[in-house]
Amino acid sequence: MLAIELCGIKLKNPLILASGVLGLNKNNLLRAQKGGAGALTIKSISLEERFGHETPNVAFFEAGMLNAFGYCNPGLEEALREFADLSCFSVPVIASCTASNASDFVKLVSALDKLDFAAIELPLSCPHTPGHGLLAGQGTVEATKEIVKACRKKTKKPLWVKINASLPNAVDIALAAEQAGADAITCSNTLGPGMVINIASAKPVLAFKVGGVSGPAIRPIIVRTIYDLYKRLKIPIIALGGVLRGEHAIEMLMAGASAVGIATGIAIRGPDIFKKCCDEMSEWLKKHDYKSVTELIGVAHE
């Protein structure tokens, strides 16, 4: 009932652990696998080891969260060791990598291509790390085209491009990625950036001052962006933003997503959020006489 196929990859359910949370190492991914995720995305790898921003890396507000981890990761060499053997996973594992320019992206994709990852995701959209994503100017049609084209030549694995729905031309950027050879679009990275000020000290909470906004507050923006993307794209869309419950995932599918990512929700419902959402989705599908979750994709357009 929940099984889907995405870029030729079979998923037992459409809920994917999004990149950036619980993906530092295999320990983390195994935990999300146990929690019921249909696929697992690793935290983005850079060529060199990165320590990221100082804490606080997270700041909460009433309707969500901001984060600015700053792409901390142990670097490519360590990642190639860590993820060399993926046989402990019963669900597909997706790679993710980040770089400042196309040539570094090419080095990363070439190296990650040799491992057993089911797909490779390129986040060209992080709003809070100097030298990466939006702060490296990757959130443009030109840069997206250049990076995706260069990476496309280095791997036959499905290539997913993660965009940012904060950008007014998000649809054009997704189209550019599709034309350059992307196999799917992940929408969205965290929005903004935003800021939370601790008024008692009159200082921003986050050490980096600004951070990407996630959680229920951004969900309507993501739903609308998915709706817009579905009208224009031929390739599948992975929706990501503010999904806490099975009903939220169903909303994303109805807008046109083929699969749904979860990240911030783990802080609220724990790593078992995937199982919980699957149960909620199954129950809803039964109650409304759907036989498969795939029947929901894009129905809001009919």
Partner 1 sequence: MNEFAKHMIKTGRITKIVEEAPNIKTFELSIAMHAEPGQFVMAFLPQVGERPFALTQAGKKIAITVKKRGPFTEKLFSLKEGSFLGIRGPYGKGFSLQNVGKACLVAAGIGIAALIRLAEELAKEGASVTLIFACKSANEIIFKERLEKVASLHIATEDGSAGFKGDCIELLEKVLKKQSYDKLYCCGPEAMMVSVLKLCEKYAIDAEFAVERYMKCAVGLCGHCCLDEWLVCTDGPVFSKEQLLASKEFGRIYYSKSGKRMRFGGD
Burial classification of residue 143, based on how many CB atoms lie within 10 Å of its CB (0-12 exposed, 13-18 middle, 19 or more buried): middle
Site string for partner 1, 142-181 (x = CB under 8 A): ----------------------------------------
Which of 201, 234, 287, 302 touches partner 1 (CB under 8 A)? 201
Tokens encoding 94: 């997706």
Nearer to partner 1, 81 or 288 (CB): 81
Determine, following the binding rule CB under 8 A, whether residue 22 of this chain makes contact with partner 1. Answer: yes
Which of 123, 215, 236, 298 touches partner 1 (CB under 8 A)? 215
Backbone phi, then psi, for 253, in 5-degree steps? -65, -45
Q: Where are the beta strands (DSSP E) in 32-113?
A: 39-41, 58-61, 64-67, 93-96
Three-state DSSP class for residue 113? helix
Instruction: Using the CB atoms, write b or e for 260-275: b if 16+ within 10 Å.
Output: bbbbbbbbebebebbb
Determine, following the binding rule CB under 8 A, whether residue 194 of this chain makes contact with partner 1. Answer: no
Nearer to partner 1, 22 or 173 (CB): 22
Nearer to partner 1, 123 or 216 (CB): 216
**Residue 200: which residues within 8 A CB-CB, separation 6 or more?**
none
Q: CA 247, CA 4: separation in Å to the nearest integer?
A: 17
Least Cβ distance, residue 244 to partner 1 (angstroms)? 8
Least Cβ distance, residue 52 to partner 1 (angstroms)? 7
* Cβ atoms 227, 255 nearer than 8 A: yes
* Cβ atoms 83, 120 nearer than 8 A: no
Tokens encoding 248: 């939220």
* Cβ atoms 239, 251 nearer than 8 A: no
Scanning 145-153, 200-208, 246-254, 274-282 for contacts with partner 1 by CB under 8 A, the matching segment is 200-208
Determine, following the binding rule CB under 8 A, whether residue 69 of this chain makes contact with partner 1. Answer: yes
Least Cβ distance, residue 95 to partner 1 (angstroms)? 15
Least Cβ distance, residue 51 to partner 1 (angstroms)? 5
Residues that bind partner 1 (CB under 8 A): 21-25, 27-28, 30-31, 34, 43, 49-52, 54-65, 67, 69, 72-75, 78, 82, 198, 200-201, 203-205, 207, 215-216, 263-264, 266-268, 270-271
